[in-house]
Amino acid sequence: MILIVDDDMGMAETCAMLLETHGFEVGIAASGAQALARIRQAAPELVITDCVMPGMSGPELSARLKADPLTARLPVLLMSGSLRCEVGKNASYDGFLRKPFLAENLLAEVSSLLAAARTADDRYAKV
């Protein structure tokens, strides 16, 4: 399952519909706090989060996931239309998409992050 975290339900539902038409199971959370609860229940393969949200930003959500040993290897794709979004080499997310983006770019990022996570899981299982 892919979890989309965005306080803009229109954007979340558009992304969900696109991913579902390509065979992905998708869940939606409207906030970082709601996402943390959903992640504990559903164990997604990927989190796609907006950057700027009330309460907990996307980078804050990602940092919390990466700090927890149970979710540290969960890939996080950050998306933002804001120039205020924190991007840089110290960032705790695995991919970034600038809004607005093309559907093809979202699908390519999702496929790439899922493939990288599966490869890492395969390497980790052999150790």
Which position has the token pair 């965005």?
A: 6
Is the bond into 100 cis (omega within 30 degrees of 0)? yes
Among candidates 120, 106, 37, which has minimal Cα distance to 72?
120
The structure's pTM equals: 0.91
Counting residues of the chain whose pLDDT is more than 90, the rounded percentage is 78
Peptide bond just before 75 cis, omega within 30 deg: no
Would you list the domain boundaries of the chain?
2-126
Q: Which two tokens stand for residue 56?
A: 């907990």
Domain 2-126 fold is Rossmann fold (3.40.50)
- Cα–Cα–Cα angle for 52, 56, 62, rounded to 5 degrees: 85
Q: What is the pLDDT of residues 89-114, one digit of tens each?
A: 556 889 999 999 999 999 999 999 99
Does the pLDDT at position 76 exceed 90? yes
Share of the chain above pLDDT 70, in %: 90
Instruction: Take residue 39 and report the two structure tokens written for it.
Output: 């992640």
